[in-house]
Amino acid sequence: MPEERLQAGLDILRGWDLDPVVGAHVLDRHGRFGYLAGTDADRAADFQAAWCDPSVDAVFCARGGYGVQRMADLLDWDALRAARPKALVGFSDITALHEAFAARLGLVTLHGPMAAGIDFVKNARAQDHLRATLFEPESVRTIRSAGGQALVPGRAGGVLLGGCLCLLASELGTPHARPSAAGGLLCLEDVGEETYRLDRYLTQLLRAGWFDGVAGILLGSWEGCGPYERVRDLVLDRLGGLGVPIAEEFGFGHGEGALTVPFGVRAELDAGAGVLTLGVPALV
């Protein structure tokens, strides 16, 4: 149950000597659309209140789901910009917030597990890597792939960005999205998408010129996206011609024991060795 998972996640955070404050509407359900956690206005108000509260040091998203794009236009971006910067943690649908915070505020955000997520509640690796990123960021400046190969070998440097592929495609043309991935090390993952849909997202981004100038690509998890060999073939078919390094199995996203990746931080990728090295700690 969501409430039980949320309480378990809060207990983990309390074990880190944190004092989590729960948003007023975190367990709400939308009256008409069951896939939404409450109304857009209430969710936006909760988020803004947390970000603008000077006593809050980090905002942990409870879960992903759907609807972040619906609330993005309801946020007061001037007020968010004026508030003290802090850590934002989440992934999946939170990709829309990662994009908005990069485009509108220029802040580093953490693509990592969420407080009420099953993986965070039950997986020590996910917990430990997020905790280290928050409290001992110098100790996690190197992230290694889980034995995957270089789909396209090579080295590249750039600013980390990305997230859930379907959200990146959906963000095209909005005021909260970057115009392209130029100069970036692009992190891609997704969940529960058939190969033809992944093909559609990649093709849409390619046709829009969004991949122009990208420095390198890292692949995370593809849980529920069919045989991984087919996903790999698709990535090579659609992105291999870009001529940039592409590395797989970097352990971020919807997979078990997901690692935390700081977006907005410059890093170096050695695709052949399967190593990502952050130029600076995630949080300074």
Active-site annotation, residues: 92, 189, 254
Query: Which of 250, 33, 245, 257 lies closest to 157 in space, CA to CA?
Result: 245
DSSP 76-108: -HHHHHHSPP-EEEE-GGGHHHHHHIIIII---
User: H-helix or E-strand containing 277?
Assistant: strand 275-278
Neighbours of 230 (CB within 10 A): 14
Distance CA 246, CA 218 (A): 6
DSSP 244: S
Q: In what order do the strands lie in the sheet with 142-144?
A: 142-144, 275-278, 266-270, 155-164, 184-189, 216-219, 246-247, 150-152
Length of the chain counted residue by residue: 284
Query: Which of 226, 233, 264 lies closest to 248 in space, CA to CA?
Result: 233
* Residue 208, token pair as written in the block: 């829009």
Tell how far CA 88 is from the center of its chain.
Answer: 10
Residues 213 and 181 sit within 8 Å (Cβ to Cβ): yes
